[in-house]
């Protein structure tokens, strides 16, 4: 699976059922393993603040499906 495939999937919180956002970047460890995904939260046209981006740790991912990625994060 490529990063571009993951970027097309919605990130859904199992706890709340809400759409957290979409993947815009990946943090990779020195050994080549994925550490976390950087998630761009939904925003309107006037909100261009990058500080609202969230990180989802690889260990928080429960399931990668065809259309969504389920995470254990509020």
Give residue-wise pLDDT tens across range 8-66: 899 999 999 999 888 999 999 999 999 999 998 655 545 555 556 789 999 999 999 99
How far apart CA 10 and CA 25 sit, in angstroms, is 14
Please, are residues 56 and 64 in contact by the beta-carbon 8 Å criterion? no
Please, are residues 26 and 37 in contact by the beta-carbon 8 Å criterion? yes
Residue 74 has pLDDT above 70, yes or no: no
Residues β-bridged to residue 34? 28
Q: Spell out the domains of the chain, with CATH numbers in brackets.
A: 3-71 (2.30.30.240)
Please state whether the predicted TM-score (pTM) of the whole model is above 0.95. no
């Amino acid at each position: 699976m490529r990063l571009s495939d993951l970027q097309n999937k919605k990130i859904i919180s199992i706890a709340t059922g809400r759409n957290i956002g979409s993947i815009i970047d990946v943090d990779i460890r020195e050994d080549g393993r994925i550490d976390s995904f950087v998630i761009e939260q939904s925003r309107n046209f006037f909100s261009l603040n990058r500080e609202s981006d969230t990180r989802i740790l690889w260990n928080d991912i429960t399931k990668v499906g065809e259309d969504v990625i389920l995470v254990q994060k509020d």
